[in-house]
Amino acid sequence: MALLLVLTSAPASERVLPALELLSHRVRQIPAEPAQLVSAPESDIVIVDGRHDLSAAKSLCKLLRTTGQDAPLLLVVTEGGMSAVSGDWGIDDVLLTDAGPAETDARIRLAIARGEATAEPSRVQASGVTIDEQSYSAKLHGRSLDLTYKEFQLLHFLATHPSRVFTREQLLSEVWGYDYFGGTRTVDVHVRRLRAKLGDQEQIIGTVRNVGYRFNVYDEDQLAAAR
């Protein structure tokens, strides 16, 4: 199941790609406006509605690419608009609005797979923590951290969103998944265990009272003073 973000100028009640209603993917539809894009939720696929205004859709696709959008980008058009689409749009694939569920699902899966295959292994470094996504390993000032898989995922998620505060519910959803039935206490337990393994640097995982948790960013002088 993928998380899909649909960008459209159509009314919220109008379905850009009707086939999605017959699939199990989670779909979020928001207005294709710059103000909305700034706070747009993360997604596995971004779908741009090009059914009614091809010029606006092309501009939006290019804008998404120039602003660092790295999720696969799919464009939905009518058959008449297909001839206007070219390689300089920056899209990963194109779908007709009347595409059936099987074709739609296949294109979504293939776009995600291509993105994963071409993505370069990345390394996250902040506040003395180094996270290697490829080897699922983490170090603190060069010292290996013996983390469970969920502890690693939690640290990785927070570190890739530095200084941003997440509620327990958000962390439960992002790290454990939408299908997890446990309570938010699970988050507190894992934060406590993660802090114990960070030792005297446990303040890297900060608590925001009555809200949730965040990854605190420190420079080397601040880290040295905190030891």
What pLDDT was estimated at residue 224? 57
What pLDDT was estimated at residue 70? 79
What pLDDT was estimated at residue 176? 86
What pLDDT was estimated at residue 9? 92
- pLDDT surpasses 60 at 223: no
Instruction: Name the residue among 157, 135, 159, 139 with its Cα closest to residue 218.
Output: 159
Q: Kindly report, residue by residue over 45-93, the tens digit of the pLDDT.
A: 999 999 999 999 999 998 888 777 778 999 999 999 999 999 889 899 9
Instruction: Name the residue among 49, 119, 104, 36 with its Cα closest to residue 78.
Output: 49
Q: Kindly report, residue by residue over 184-210, the tens digit of the pLDDT.
A: 889 999 999 999 999 988 999 999 998
- pTM greater than the 0.75 cutoff: no
Instruction: Name the residue among 90, 22, 13, 23 with its Cα closest to residue 50.
Output: 90
What pLDDT was estimated at residue 92? 92
Q: Kindly report, residue by residue over 126-142, the tens digit of the pLDDT.
A: 888 999 887 888 999 88
Q: What proportion of the chain, given as a percentage, has pLDDT over 90?
A: 57
- What is the widest separation between alpha-carbon atoms in the chain? 65
